[in-house]
A and B are shown apart, each in its own frame.
Chain A
Amino acid sequence: MEFKFSKQEEKFRTEVENFLKEELPTDWPDKSMHWPGGYGSIEIENKENQRIFLEYRKKLAKKGWLTISWPKGYGGEEHSYMEQAIFDEVTSYYRATASGISTGIAGPTILRFGTEENKKDWIPGIANAEIDLWLGYSEPNAGSDLASIQTTALKDGDDYIINGQKIWSTLAHESDYAWLIARTDPDGHRHKSVSLFIVDNNTPGVTIRPLINIVGVHSFNEVFFDNVRVPKKNIIGQENMGFYYLMTALDFERLMVGIGGFRRVFEQFVEYVKQTEKDGAPLGENNNVRQKLSEIAVKIEIAYMFFWRTAEMLDKGNVPSVESSALKLVTTELSRNLADVAMEILGPYNQLMPGSEWAPFSGMAPRGYLDSISATIGAGTSEIQRNIIATRGLGLPAR
């Protein structure tokens, strides 16, 4: 046992940190209003920042850092998953999380299950940060129960024709392609009749309608598919195997927890209570505040261990599955918890939204209090993660 990073890992960490300090504006971490664990606020909301961020991601792609752990033939560096994890930790600490759906979910899933043609078609664009994908899983009647999706993709010559509706489609309006599940065999078994597709947003018949979330941000959408024609080669892996691929894709998704973001907010609050007086005494001397923050410190430490564990497993050749669910559960419950504690510490000032002159941290806490609602729902609810841990993990009988 050794609870420390290797020399090489430490060196890599410093390299990433130095890169971020050089490439990002110094006030970048303060600009982002993203709440750790939340799915509802986009990291960067104005166009100028989006431009800076895109440039930064392109540079990361050039360095091969978006695909550190991928095989060499596919634009990767074949470095350890631990280095990948270190990269994710540091970038999220700087509020500049660079791994996303394309490099964190679609890429790894294609590398695992895709045909050679799939890899040739999609991997270079993904590795070079040239294409962005959105997740087309949920439908109005299929949330936790994804096997009940009703969107169909029916064969028509060399194409498939897609009909149906997706919902909660985060950033569909800012992406190029849908990473979509649809039913290819309407009469088949629930789990053996679904296929995974990549669908160009610009195909005729795709309509994207905005949904405004409770944070007030247009983060997600409803997407309608009306006789959308997709070439057969856009199926990932084998037809009707999509539900199995999806399970792995979800495991990959649940590894992307932006763990460093928790550390960042926590440090901000520790600083705040040291410097702020409440009713005539420093907040940091208040016993309740001390206990609450210390509890958060413990929870962050625990969450980090779950996080490093998944990377370490991958390096040992095992694929985290239940471990992904545990990590997702631990970090998103922490997201809520952190929001509660942040709000409690701010007292009456916790009501002040961004833009208010008296708002501590430019209103990040009440915004996070809203966004944290999405943490325990998006990417599979807490209840579903507990079900997975209990059934898949412990072998308890499923109902």
Chain B
Amino acid sequence: MDLDFNKEQKILKSSARDFLKKECPTSLIREMKNDKKGYSETLWNKMTDLGWMGVIIPEEYGGIGGSFLDLSILLEAMGEVCCPGPFFSTIVSGGLAILDNGSEDQKKALLPDLAEGRIILSLGLTEPGNWYGTENIAATAIKDKENYIIEGTKLFVENAHIADYILCAARTGENMKSKEGLTLFLVDSKTPGIKYKLLDTLAYDKQCEVIFDKVKVPEENIIGKEGQAWDILESLQEKAAVAKCAEMVGCIQTAFNMSVAYAKERTQFGKPIGAFQAVQHHCANMVIDVDGSRFITYKAAWKISEGLPASMEASMAKSWVSNASRKVTFLGHQIHGAISFCDEHDMHLFYRKAKAAETAFGDGNYHLEKVAGQLGL
């Protein structure tokens, strides 16, 4: 067993960290909060130059052919600074869907652009009335010669407002509440009939309500096969959940570091607050949560990298990390006291981010159900 990164991965991690420390200060998050687009093109381009957009795209499509583990390392580094922008929705939610399920033509058409940072993707699953599950997707795609006409409303569609393509799951079969008859479409965001509205969210991320009003999509834009989206989405969400965990590991690592540093520096009653056992125990509890999160996340990421079945570990990771993130960022506030209740202080950025990430791709409890399923219960 070897629980350390290899040499290249260590370099990737430290260089990504150094880069983001310089290029993505928390002032950028605050700036992006009120920015229409929600990301810095300068930063995006620099990330592209570093090859990050192509991290998991094979060399034959213009990427650098890294592994899911490499992707996780980058995501962790981005999580450490709560990096705002469409990397996750483009490379993970959208990119993986195409990489794993796209036709050769689709890959040839899209992956090189993805690797070059030229396009932004977005995934539309949840609808009003849905929670975390995809069984109840009600958007319809009715066949009309070589096209499909999509009707429906999607919520929490990340970065739809700047996306070039929205991946949209819609029902091509008759049965509602069923795993069958779901199809995943690659929808050009400029197609007539698409309307979006930005939602005001806790973590300042850019999520949208997207209305598809008789949106015409050509047949060749189906990702995978008609009616087969269920499996695609299960596998995609599984990987996305692990990728999200990697981001969360970074996020809570920073909240933890800030808190331990503060516990050493802030004095009350003539000593550093870190001298009080109550505070020491908070910090020790955080260690278990942060390190536990890293272990299970990287175990799942490694399995995915190796092409091994990872459903169990993915759901274990998402349930542990979801709860850990909430606890760690809350304790971060508790240790800081009133100063962290100020908007100017950075702790709440991590607290917000942790909550949004907890919710993304199923919360802790949702994934515990999946673990139960994996246990054969």
Listed residue (B326, B340, B343, B345) with the most chain A CB atoms within 10 angstroms of its CB:
B343
* Interface flag for B231 (CB, 8 Å): no
Residues of A near B268 (CB, < 8 A) are 142-145, 148
Q: In the complex, which range does the number of interface residues on chain B fall in? A: 35 or more
In the complex, what residue of chain B is closest to A369 when comparing beta carbons?
B355
* Interface flag for B342 (CB, 8 Å): yes
Q: Which A residues, 218 to 251, have Cβ-Cβ distances below 8 Å to chain B?
A: none
Q: Looking at the complex, which one of A142, A212, A279, A383 makes contact with B135 (CB distance below 8 Å)? A: A279
In the complex, what residue of chain A is closest to B351 when comparing beta carbons?
A373
* Interface flag for B9 (CB, 8 Å): no
Residues of B near A148 (CB, < 8 A) are 268-270
Check if A376 sits within 8 Å of B200, measured CB to CB. Answer: no
* Interface flag for B284 (CB, 8 Å): no
Check if B207 sits within 8 Å of A351, measured CB to CB. Answer: yes
Among the 9-residue stretches A15-23, A108-116, A320-328, A340-348, the one with 4 or more Cβ atoms under 8 Å from chain B is: A340-348
* Interface flag for B155 (CB, 8 Å): yes
* Interface flag for A278 (CB, 8 Å): yes
Residues of B near A32 (CB, < 8 A) are none
In the complex, what residue of chain B is closest to A376 when comparing beta carbons?
B334
Q: Looking at the complex, which one of B209, B326, B338, B341 makes contact with A358 (CB distance below 8 Å)? A: B209
Q: Is the interface of B mostly helix, strand, loop or mixed?
A: mixed
Q: How far is the CA of A366 from the CA of B343 in the complex (A)?
A: 15
* Interface flag for B12 (CB, 8 Å): no
Check if A212 sits within 8 Å of B344, measured CB to CB. Answer: yes
Q: Which A residues, 340 to 365, have Cβ-Cβ distances below 8 Å to chain B?
A: 340, 343-344, 347-348, 350-358, 363
Interface string of B262-280 (1 = CB under 8 A from A): 0000011110010010110
Residues of B near A356 (CB, < 8 A) are 199-201
Check if B279 sits within 8 Å of A348, measured CB to CB. Answer: no
Check if A168 sits within 8 Å of B199, measured CB to CB. Answer: no
Q: Is the interface of A mostly helix, strand, loop or mixed?
A: mixed
A350 with B359, Cβ < 8 A, contacts A280-B135, A377-B338 known: yes
Q: How far is the CA of A211 from the CA of B136 in the complex (A)?
A: 45
Residues of A near B365 (CB, < 8 A) are 288, 344
Check if B342 sits within 8 Å of A377, measured CB to CB. Answer: no
Check if A369 sits within 8 Å of B202, measured CB to CB. Answer: yes
Q: Looking at the complex, which one of B136, B273, B348, B363 makes contact with A370 (CB distance below 8 Å)? A: B348
Q: Looking at the complex, which one of A141, A214, A279, A376 makes contact with B133 (CB distance below 8 Å)? A: A279
Q: How far is the CB of B305 from chain A (nearest CB, A)?
A: 28
Q: How far is the CB of B117 from chain A (nearest CB, A)?
A: 27
Residues of A near B348 (CB, < 8 A) are 214, 370, 373
* Interface flag for B230 (CB, 8 Å): no
Residues of B near A141 (CB, < 8 A) are 267
Q: Which A residues, 356 to 399, have Cβ-Cβ distances below 8 Å to chain B?
A: 356-358, 363, 366, 369-370, 373-374, 376-378, 381-383, 386-387, 399
Check if B135 sits within 8 Å of A143, measured CB to CB. Answer: no
Residues of A near B278 (CB, < 8 A) are 383, 386-387
A358 with B155, Cβ < 8 A, contacts A347-B131, A351-B355 known: yes
Interface string of B128-160 (1 = CB under 8 A from A): 111111011000000000000000000110000
Q: How far is the CA of A24 from the CA of B209 in the complex (A)?
A: 36
In the complex, what residue of chain B is closest to A213 when comparing beta carbons?
B341
Q: Looking at the complex, which one of A40, A355, A369 makes contact with B200 (CB distance below 8 Å)? A: A355
Q: How far is the CA of A194 from the CA of B254 in the complex (A)?
A: 39
A144 with B202, Cβ < 8 A, contacts A350-B355, A373-B330 known: no
* Interface flag for A216 (CB, 8 Å): yes
In the complex, what residue of chain A is closest to B342 when comparing beta carbons?
A211
* Interface flag for A336 (CB, 8 Å): yes
A145 with B156, Cβ < 8 A, contacts A347-B131, A351-B202 known: no
Q: How far is the CB of B100 from chain A (nearest CB, A)?
A: 24
Q: How far is the CA of A351 from the CA of B135 in the complex (A)?
A: 22
Residues of B near A144 (CB, < 8 A) are 268-269, 273, 337
* Interface flag for B177 (CB, 8 Å): yes
Q: Looking at the complex, which one of B267, B276, B333 makes contact with A373 (CB distance below 8 Å)? A: B333
Check if A277 sits within 8 Å of B129, measured CB to CB. Answer: yes
Interface string of B312-340 (1 = CB under 8 A from A): 00000000000000100010011001101
* Interface flag for A335 (CB, 8 Å): no
Q: How far is the CA of A211 from the CA of B343 in the complex (A)?
A: 8
Q: How far is the CB of B351 from chain A (nearest CB, A)?
A: 7
* Interface flag for A138 (CB, 8 Å): yes
Q: How far is the CB of A66 from chain B (nearest CB, A)?
A: 28
Check if A350 sits within 8 Å of B202, measured CB to CB. Answer: yes
Check if B338 sits within 8 Å of A378, measured CB to CB. Answer: yes
In the complex, what residue of chain B is closest to A347 when comparing beta carbons?
B131
Check if B201 sits within 8 Å of A377, measured CB to CB. Answer: no
20 A–B contacts, CB within 8 A, in A order? A279-B131, A279-B136, A348-B126, A348-B131, A350-B355, A351-B199, A351-B355, A352-B199, A353-B200, A353-B202, A354-B200, A356-B201, A357-B209, A358-B199, A366-B202, A373-B348, A373-B351, A377-B341, A382-B334, A386-B278
Those 3 A-B pairs whose CB atoms lie nearest each other, nearest first: A347-B131, A145-B268, A383-B278
- Known contacts A214-B341, A336-B330, then 12 further A-B pairs from the complex at CB < 8 Å, ordered by chain A residue: A212-B342, A213-B342, A279-B136, A344-B363, A350-B355, A351-B202, A352-B199, A353-B200, A358-B199, A369-B355, A370-B352, A382-B334
- Residues of chain B whose beta carbon lies under 8 Å from any beta carbon of chain A: 126, 128-133, 135-136, 155-156, 177, 197, 199-203, 207, 209, 267-270, 273, 276, 278-279, 326, 330, 333-334, 337-338, 340-345, 348, 351-352, 355-356, 359, 363, 365
